[in-house]
A and B are shown apart, each in its own frame.
Chain A
């Protein structure tokens, strides 16, 4: 059986996996973005806190995804909980780092002006600093999304959802009739999803970045 007939044969299953993969990555990215930008906002003003936040997220990154899932399964069980936890943790590093870099890169005279005309601390962050750091933050989110696409595949190891299941099943049954097709279908699905997500994020960037600071 050639690859394309395999795909049309298993269409239903593959679409379901693709949808679940996309959905998992999307939801984890939303959570990671909120948490990551929050951590950035809380730590960027303090040199030590900022370094601690980045060091912590770097450390999480260095744990192999396979191993992290293995460590989470005894605590959280199989399926969705360990998958979501792992994905959010991995997404944090690029988001936190870019949020801190972006917020620290805001021209201090603008912050001084914001304060000087009577903005509260919250207004300074929401109306001046975050919008100006937004291009940098969005870059972090894009990098994190690309990473999660690949890492989410590993979640199949913890019986998580998504295209990883096709890859895993294919690898474990290598030599049998459709094994290679299955691995290929899963991989291609992830690549296509990654491209689509990236395109969407570029579009969001265009729509949400002020014309006054767009390069």
Chain B
């Protein structure tokens, strides 16, 4: 959180009772959405098809004009300003990229900077920078046409075009919906990396809840007419879905999905006795005996986990360190998700995995027991937080109802 505040370039978005009513239909397509999105936050709108999530998104840059309600960006009411100028301040990326097929990659990216009147030299530099940013070699891709790119590459260019004029807000309408699962996974990772650098305010529409968990700081689960069923962090939604609709949408395996959200650095890491290759054999024997435990972790000269040593190993190897013990087959970094750690622990024959630091050096060990305890603690904490949150909400709601009742009575006395 602290480093997030360092370089936020995003803007606050406030949706105030935003409604879209199409003429000729009885119910509004979007019914009174209230939402406040913090600067630099990634908010995912997720819900079944036809729930109005896209309509809600498209009202933010007024591709669809709201029937009523207000939109504020960074405090400025943009509901009535010139929509063309508004859209130049908001990045827009859509499914199947929407690249103009008759323009080269560079021309596509240059569109918005050109419209807002950047100089040619500045645009040229910016195009290169953007291609670099989305991981495409400028020399190779600069003058290609969209049809000469793969689906994933097109999508990257689409994101580069959306970000070219450095807008504070980025709207993404199922941008990864049309690519294969592996490419989608890559693109999601890229987006996380990008957002880590850029800190834009991103509003992202998807119907894929796993995508929402992966990308969102907060997720708004929408039901029909864009009614917000729950608007909360992925953790809270997973552990404490507000109702059956949300839990149905979360789907099975919520606890497993929760593991994706926590990193190894956030859980208790155990310490095991370690020795290094340079320690004298006698010391190693002593350590094994005095700890009473039956295992030592042997580190190499750069303090990286090398071998597991058991009591019998040294005897059998006749005192030679080179032949003794079992090589460390798995290790996880502190940035790995708990899911990765669980995977490693399950595959390890003795059910424990060394945790390593940035340069591969030994930090500690996680095993089944610590993982289990950590997950229980996490889930419990999530539950408490969600309960507290719900309590606050109920209190606020009760307060509102009270107010409404009072004003209602005041109105009733008039005749």
Contacts and interface: CB of A to CB of B under 8 A. Distances in A.
B84 A116 contact: no
A35 interface: no
A7 to B, nearest CB: 46
A124 B146 CA distance: 18
B156 to A, nearest CB: 15
Contact of A110 (B87, B92, B100, B111): B100
B63 A112 contact: yes
B102 A117 contact: no
B172 to A, nearest CB: 11
B162 A117 contact: yes
Interface size class of A (residues with CB under 8 A): 20 to 34
B81 to A, nearest CB: 12
Interface in A166-215: 210-213
B98 A112 contact: yes
A123 B111 CA distance: 11
Contacts of A116: 61, 63, 87, 92, 94, 98, 171
Interface string B215-239: 0000000000000000000000000
A44 B94 CA distance: 25
Given A116-B63, A117-B161, A109 B102 contact: no
Contacts of B61: 116
A118 interface: yes
B179 to A, nearest CB: 15
Contacts of A113: 92, 94, 98-100
A128 B94 contact: no
A212 B145 contact: yes
A110 B98 contact: yes
Size bracket, chain B contacts: 20 to 34
A23 interface: no
Interface string B80-98: 0000111110111011101
Given A115-B87, A117-B112, A213 B98 contact: no
Interface string B35-74: 0000000000000000000000000010100000000000
A120 interface: yes
A204 to B, nearest CB: 16
A214 to B, nearest CB: 9
B161 A212 contact: no
A103 to B, nearest CB: 14
A132 B101 contact: yes
B116 to A, nearest CB: 8
A117 B158 CA distance: 11
Contacts of B95: 109
Contacts of B146: 212
Contacts of A120: 84
A178 B61 CA distance: 74
A114 B162 CA distance: 11
A118 B115 contact: yes
Contacts of B260: none
Contacts of B196: none
Nearest to A115: B63
B104 interface: yes
Contacts of B104: 212
B391 interface: no
B290 to A, nearest CB: 69
A114 B112 contact: no
B102 A123 contact: no
A119 interface: yes
Contacts of B291: none
Contacts of A112: 63, 94, 98
Contacts of A128: 100
A212 B115 contact: no
B103 interface: yes
A120 B85 CA distance: 9
17 contacts: A109-B94, A110-B100, A113-B99, A113-B100, A115-B87, A116-B87, A116-B92, A117-B87, A117-B88, A117-B111, A118-B84, A118-B86, A118-B115, A120-B84, A127-B100, A131-B102, A132-B101
Considering the complex of A and B, which 8 residue pairs feature the smallest CB-CB distances, nearest first?
A113-B98, A212-B145, A118-B88, A210-B102, A118-B87, A116-B92, A212-B102, A131-B102
Given A119-B115, A127-B111, 9 more contacts: A114-B100, A116-B61, A116-B87, A116-B98, A118-B85, A118-B90, A132-B100, A210-B145, A212-B104
Interface of B: 61, 63, 84-88, 90-92, 94-96, 98-104, 111-112, 115, 145-147, 161-162, 171
